[in-house]
Structure 1
Amino acid sequence: MSQKPSIVIIPGSFTGPDIYSNFASLLRGRGYEVIVGILQSANRTRPEKAATLQEDAAYFRGVAETLASQGKDVVVVGHSYGGVVATESVKGVIKTEREAHGKAGGVVRVVYLVSVVADIGQGNFEAFGGQLGPFIRILQSWVDIPFPKGEFMHIDPEAGAPSLYSDLPENEALEWARLSKIQSTASFLDPVTFAAVDYVPVTYIHTSTDRIIPLENQKGFVAKLKSRNAKNVSTITINADHYPIVTAPEETAKGIIDAIEGN
């Protein structure tokens, strides 16, 4: 690719785009166009209807299609739950598919940044082992009830901070955890209908100190990808926790650039 591709970043669950701002600036400083999108499933609250995985995917598919329609190559980066969205959102926007119809531009790579990887027919919850983090609470009329009955979920910052931002001092980790958004329950249950790895190269970026998706589980997701199409799968490992865009932004930016440039 002679011209640098545009990078579309899909945030993790419970996470707004602002957390990715400084990290995105690092990539822009290296000459990349970067769009940090908004998870629809983390952008609503009662009385609005909780968004589904398909609504998240449709939003980010639209972002990728807009870039592709300008003849641009696109790299989609999905963080945590965002990896499930990435898998589904690139359906119909793969560059080779577009070229077959005489169109320029399209998705040329998916980067799974310590992501959940779901098989066709699986949702985030099932792919994650059928369990939630112990710091996730379910809301129904703002009263905690068992999953999956409530429409929305939230994070208990005090309980979640030590795992989500485990590389930070306790007080800093808590500040970041308090920025967590309300998340749709349905988004964790909806199954994916597409396997991106069958059609486009993918890179999985491991984070070695992650307490949310331990390294062993991350490797399990990579094995799942390789079982479908090993030649399309590469990996990179960085020494970071579950939010490397906050705790190790330089290393994470380098990992993504290495994935794109094939270093």
Structure 2
Amino acid sequence: MRTVSKPFDVTTRAARHFGIAASMALAGALFWLGGGSADAAEIAKPTVVLVHGAFAESASWNGVADRLAQRGFHVVAAANPLRGVQSDAAYVASVLSSIEGPVVLVGHSYGGSVASAAALGNPRVKALVYVAAFAPEKGETAVELSNRFPGSTLASALAPPVKLPEGGAELGIRQEAFRRQFAADVPAKDAARMAVTQRPITEAALGEASSEPAWKRVPSWFIFGTADKNIPAEAHRFMANRAKSNKTIAVQGASHVVMVSHPQAVAQLIIEAADGPAAKP
């Protein structure tokens, strides 16, 4: 009885006649035709770029990044310079230019202003996710938006400005006030560490007017905490409604660092954004 050769038999014969290199190439071709669909699906996933805001740093995304990685996403946590909206946006745009394929761009707090500018004109940014973040209109500033509605207590929690050698000053939150102001729903030990490692922001950055925002063209998703003391919940709702958000989540009792205290909710929204609709017409 004649038997039909299996793929392994085919590659074995090839090895005898053409050598090991040809055998490996043929085996790879057989895998691509018959068993490579799972890898192709992984390649199709967008890269998630996470942009932290003022008084935070890249590690504030750890819980979210872990959950996204578990779902097969490639994740980049950009080190936002916190020097100025346009200069920071230029840096993030350079990070985006180094990434192949579609991108979901995620901003926290001031990082939302940076993401709004960095994504402008980049067709590979398929979604913007605002995590307790500013989504400014052209000409608006972080300071103005946070004070447009009552509830922000950030000014009273700030440490004295630190003068910079090149001029201007930068701001941080007093360590003793950090948890109460910034991370009230984070365990005390973790909040204390965050207070020590917080990244200061220049006064100029918080007062710099935004350029034309990408959210007018790129679909957006919003999530914030109802107990946010940096950006009032009403300001978040206003910005989400104005941007015609595809989905807006208000996490009851969550602080300004909702991505630290509720990483699963934030990661899930990012995943929904990755699967969401294309750019607005």
TM-score, normalised with respect to structure 2: 0.74
Matched, 1:33 2:74: yes
Flag the structure with higher strand content. Answer: 1
Partners of 1:199 and 1:163 lie apart in 2 by 33
Flag the structure with higher helix content. Answer: 2
Matched, 1:223 2:241: yes
Equivalent residue for 2:156?
Answer: 134
1:31-180 matched pairs, under 5 angstroms? 31-41=72-82, 51-67=83-99, 70=100, 72-93=101-122, 95=123, 106-129=124-147, 132-141=154-163, 150-180=168-198
The offset of 1:172, in angstroms, is 4.0
Partners of 2:144 and 2:77 lie apart in 1 by 26
SS in 2 for 1:62: helix
The offset of 1:169, in angstroms, is 4.2
The offset of 1:137, in angstroms, is 2.7
Structure 2, unpaired ranges of 5+: 1-40
Larger-gyration structure (1/2): 2
Contact 1:75 1:109 survives alignment (8 Å)? yes
Equivalent residue for 2:15?
Answer: none
Equivalent residue for 2:23?
Answer: none
Contact 1:57 1:85 survives alignment (8 Å)? yes
Partners of 2:221 and 2:183 lie apart in 1 by 23
The offset of 1:38, in angstroms, is 0.7
Contact 2:146 2:232 survives alignment (8 Å)? no
Aligned counterpart in structure 1 of residue 261 of structure 2, from 240, 247, 250 = 247
Q: Give the stretch that moved more between structures: 25-34 or 177-186.
A: 177-186
Contact 1:162 1:170 survives alignment (8 Å)? no
Equivalent residue for 1:21?
Answer: 62
Partners of 1:200 and 1:176 lie apart in 2 by 32
Structure 1, unpaired ranges of 5+: 42-50, 96-105, 143-148
Going from structure 1 to structure 2, the CA distance change for 1:243 and 1:119 (only over 3 Å counts) comes to: same
Q: How many residues align?
A: 228
Equivalent residue for 1:207?
Answer: 225
Give the aligned residue type for 2:249: I
TM-score, normalised with respect to structure 1: 0.78
